[in-house]
Amino acid sequence: MSKVDQTEVAERLKFGVLCRDFSGRLCYEINDFPLEKYNETKSSLVKKFGLFPFGITIYGLDEVFQCYIRGLKRVGIEWDVWSGFIVVAKSKRAENLVINMARHLESTIEI
């Protein structure tokens, strides 16, 4: 069974882009985001949006990711060498949360 690539750019913003990944999930990506700012930025989003960890933070050689929940909404806050900083909606019901997180980062982030 082959998958259909659902990648598309939804909106370009000042620092990042709202897009759909290969699986069709809504993502906010900031390319060229330094790994050194991942934990600080992740922590500020967790506090601002009242997120709770869902599992543990995974540290790979070229990626870091952690899932969070708020009610029935699940998001991933991630970083990798290809895309930079990423917030991904793990379900359709989390898409508004990702958009709000993107807007917040666009208004507060310093790269």
Looking at the structure of the chain, the number of domains it has is: 1
- The DSSP line for 10-46 is EEE-SS-EEEE-TTS-EEEEETT--GGGHHHHHHHHH
**70 domain-assigned:** yes
Higher-pLDDT residue of 95 and 2 is 95
**97 domain-assigned:** no
Interval 53-78: pLDDT, tens: 999 999 999 999 999 999 999 999 99
**100 domain-assigned:** no
Give residue 84's domain range.
8-92
Whole-prediction pTM value? 0.89
Flag whether pLDDT at 7 surpasses 70: no
**40 domain-assigned:** yes
